[in-house]
Amino acid sequence: MAALTADKLRRWRDDLVQTPARVRTKKGSAQQHRKIANEDGQRARRSSANRIWSLLRAALNHAFHDGKVPSDLEWRKVKPFRSVDAARVRYLTVAEAKRLINAADPDFRILVRAALQTGARYGELTRLTVADFNPDVGTLSIRQSKSGKSRHVVLTDEGIQFFRRLCAGRAGDEIMLRKANGSPWYFAHQIRPMDETVARAKITPPISFHGLRHTWASHAVMNGMPLMVVARNLGHADTRMVEKHYGHLAPSYVAEAVRKSAPRFGFPADKKVSSIR
């Protein structure tokens, strides 16, 4: 521990950013890693590096306070990455979402529409079976989520009609979303078609597939959906993640809300004041 220098610790921290996150794989299968495809992926890796660095720094501080190392000066020099937990501000407008759908190939178009109707993650969508859609109550069952917990996504009337057409006449154990050739959507298979579709739709700045989840959440919040309801449909335990990442409001929406709800005091206009040109 005494041999740890600030430069060594910084290199170790920076290597964490360049190392792709591991993906959960079946026992006996080769380890897979999540591709760092864009700036949002880099931001996520820096955020993960900060969390890991906080754990290591806590352990080093514990050792210092117990007298196991003479000084804590070296790791005090290493600062976490800044602005890595800032709210994601990129989401599609309704017009952009329509352009994206129109520009997508038929099989990928279905996947995009499913994401926009549910706010579900790519992995959650690809694991859906036909039986996971309940047309009687208008919900979609997510049996395996990132947190490991299941949930029911409540659909709009538009979403119910979409999934009813998608699942009509199909066996309950059939994978719901497939490619045109009948094969399933596997890990990272969405990246290339998403990039190509975004380019064809002329959407700038570009957006990732995960941005469709962010789009659902952003519009839900802007339309007045309570944050706890948004969090529940997205699979979060509370509203903290929604407020942090999905609870931002578009400037135009804020302006409209203020002008609609802010107090008026009935002060008469001062006719003696004129603008200086």
> What is the C-alpha to C-alpha distance for residues 248 and 214, in angstroms, rounded to an integer?
10
Domain harbouring 126, CATH code:
1.10.443.10
Ranked by mean pLDDT, the top range of 10-14, 33-37, 145-149, 266-270 is 10-14
Domain membership of residue 264 (yes or no) is no
pLDDT band of residue 244 (cuts 50, 70, 90) is: confident
For residues 16 and 48, is the Cβ–Cβ distance under 8 A? yes
Domain membership of residue 277 (yes or no) is no
Domain membership of residue 40 (yes or no) is yes
Q: Under 8 Å CB-to-CB from 37, ≥6 apart: which residues?
A: 191, 208
Domain membership of residue 205 (yes or no) is yes
Same structural domain, 70 and 100: no
What is the identity of the amino acid at 207? I
Q: Scan for tokens 């989520």, then name that residue.
A: 145
Strand order in 139-142's β-sheet? 133-134, 139-142, 151-154
Q: Which of these three, 23, 50, 76, is where a domain ends?
A: 76
Higher pLDDT, 131 or 228: 131
pLDDT band of residue 25 (cuts 50, 70, 90) is: confident
Same structural domain, 44 and 105: no
Which has the minimum average pLDDT: 33-47, 122-136, 140-154, 157-171?
Answer: 33-47
Tokens standing for 194? 């998403």
Same structural domain, 160 and 243: yes
Domain carrying residue 218? 94-258
Same structural domain, 71 and 98: no
Same structural domain, 23 and 126: no
For residues 177 and 125, is the Cβ–Cβ distance under 8 A? yes
Same structural domain, 71 and 121: no
Q: Which of these three, 43, 76, 109, is where a domain ends?
A: 76
pLDDT band of residue 254 (cuts 50, 70, 90) is: low
> What is the C-alpha to C-alpha distance for residues 86 and 70, in angstroms, rounded to an integer?
36
CA quadruple 153, 156, 161, 162: dihedral positive or negative? negative
pLDDT at 88 over 60: no
Question: By C-alpha distance, which of 122, 80, 147, 132 is closest to 212?
Answer: 122
| pLDDT tens per residue, range 40-52 | 677 878 888 899 9
pLDDT at 262 over 80: yes
pLDDT at 124 over 70: yes
| pLDDT tens per residue, range 98-112 | 999 999 999 999 999
Tally the domains of the chain. Answer: 2
Domain membership of residue 174 (yes or no) is yes
> What is the C-alpha to C-alpha distance for residues 197 and 203, in angstroms, rounded to an integer?
9
Domain membership of residue 203 (yes or no) is yes
Specify which residues 154 forms β-bridges with: 139
> What is the C-alpha to C-alpha distance for residues 36 and 110, in angstroms, rounded to an integer?
25
Average of per-residue pLDDT across 180-202: 95
Same structural domain, 179 and 238: yes
Average of per-residue pLDDT across 220-233: 88
CA quadruple 222, 228, 230, 231: dihedral positive or negative? positive
Domain membership of residue 43 (yes or no) is yes
Domain membership of residue 268 (yes or no) is no
Same structural domain, 42 and 98: no
Same structural domain, 70 and 175: no
